[in-house]
Amino acid sequence: KAGVTQTPRYLIKTRGQQVTLSCSPISGHRSVSWYQQTPGQGLQFLFEYFSETQRNKGNFPGRFSGRQFSNSRSEMNVSTLELGDSALYLCASSRQRGPQETQYFGPGTRLLVL
């Protein structure tokens, strides 16, 4: 069974640009969550999508947005990039929503903003 895949794996952008990251969940998984990981702040929750609807959102500015498609694939967009957006962006999928569901993480997309 294939795991969570994320594309691209590495990305370099300059300040002010925008970026779109993609996540394909494990087959049959309908919930996708996004996280930002930095050395200073650790892993921080961005948002969760289920059935093409955002169900939860972390404490990030509106420059961070996402969406989910009918096949459960998800994209995350960051507009007007700032240097502080440099991070490893991780997505995780689970079969359903709810506390009993285990999240499985992808390898991440490493974004560098210059």
Which residues of this chain interact with another protein, rule CB under 8 A? 4, 33, 35, 42-45, 48, 55-56, 58, 90, 92, 97-100, 102-108, 110
Q: Which is nearer to another protein, 28 or 107 (CB)?
A: 107
User: Who's near 90: CB < 8 A, 6+ residues apart?
Assistant: 6, 34, 35, 36, 37, 43, 105, 106, 108
Q: How far is the CB of 105 from another protein (least distance, A)?
A: 3
Distance CA 114, CA 83 (A): 6
| Closest CB 43 distance from another protein, rounded Å | 4
Return the number of the residue (56 or 80) whose C-beta is nearest another protein. Answer: 56
As measured in angstroms, the least distance from the Cβ of 99 to another protein is: 4
The H or E element spanning position 32 is: strand 31-38
DSSP single-letter state for residue 84: G
